[in-house]
Structure 1
Amino acid sequence: MKLTVTIHQARLGSKEFKVIRPAGPLVHAVLIDHDRHLGTYLDQDAAQRIGGLWRLAASSPRSLVHLPMRGNRGPSHALSEDGVRQLDLVLLHHSLQFAPSRWKEIRRRLGPGRLQTVTLPGPEHTDEAVIDHEARHYKENRDLFHQHLHAETLFMTGSAKVFGDTARHFFDVARNGPGYVPVHPSYPHFCTELHSDAGILGDAREIHIEYCDQWDA
């Protein structure tokens, strides 16, 4: 698949940081802090593009992949709780050893960036059968997500492998969400999760990923 992004450079002190953003806004995408878990609500286009950005994070260990979403309007059912917080998202490789406390200053220094089209493996290359689910539960497993929250932004830190293995969740939403037929009133939308039982979460909360086709104007 081809994905158009903008590449930004920001210098902070003696260090220069590379930040990758989607070229166009992710209009129908919100990330919400529900306290005990996180919720991501997406339409087909946003799910497809975020799957690509998730893949890009796997292959870009020296970059911060920034998904601006916190100002978006969301589906009313997702925002019905009192005091919910909408967040931006940053994906980064653990080897970068980035301190989230530096993000606000870096974000302020970002210019318009330069357009670039990248070619990534498509969703058809995601093979669930080759994922070693048993190994994920070994105590030696280091392919885990860790999360930090700073400056209204969720930082998802992980290895190339865990980003590569979990991008399929977003592609599943893009592929199966639009044609989903509810079979039970408790499950009106197609959804999937990054959950603790999967052996991919270290110091991180579960993320509920839900397809939505009705958005507030």
Structure 2
Amino acid sequence: MTDRTDEGVNGRLVLFAGGTSAVGRASARALVDAGARVMIVGSDAERVAAAAAEAPGAFTEVCDLTDPDAVTALRDRVHAAHGSVDGLFPLVGGWRGGGGLAGQNDDDLAFLMRSFTALRLVTRAFDADLRSSPAGRLAIVSSTAVARPLAGGANYAAVKAASEAWVRAVAQGYAKAARDDAREVSSAAVILRVRSLEGLESAVASAFVALWDDAADAWNDVVIEIGAGG
């Protein structure tokens, strides 16, 4: 196993859960360039292979991240082949909306809820890894719609708000575990908010890498707006 130090992303095992999107591909490249061991996970084998081709050296796994048994099996395979995870970036997402409040239908909500389901499953599966890592990091990409929801995006904003609440609960768990063990916090759960990801893929990727630039207590339970001035 690669020797791990207490600072920097170099040598860390970072898992992108749903890493085949534009932001996932950009972030995987950035983490590989920074010396991390990167795992790209997605449900479509061709998209996973294409994403890995843009981040030479990245590992890959195909998994339905909304299936509890599949996520448990993924964790077991990752542990057997690569060891414990230090970074987890759940990126399962998508947008459906419009039509005012009347247009917020159940099919759209079910589609959007996939991201929250995947978040719950992967954070629970790898919770012990991140808690025990000397530099565990969890981060999601959320939306400014949480603070400024619109009727036409009510489903979307509600799911993003639920995701943020989940990540903040994880952050509280990291802090409590450290207090109970009478030690410094070594893991951080972070929320990155954007208005739109278009044109911000590199900025988000840089933010992911930067999470290892400071101690965990500087990041835990922090909300960072990216591109807020644009």
* Both structures adopt the same fold (TM-score exceeding 0.5): no
Q: Relative to total residues, which structure has the larger helix share, 1 or 2?
A: 2
Task: Give me the TM-score of the superposition, normalised by structure 2.
Answer: 0.27
Task: Give me the TM-score of the superposition, normalised by structure 1.
Answer: 0.28
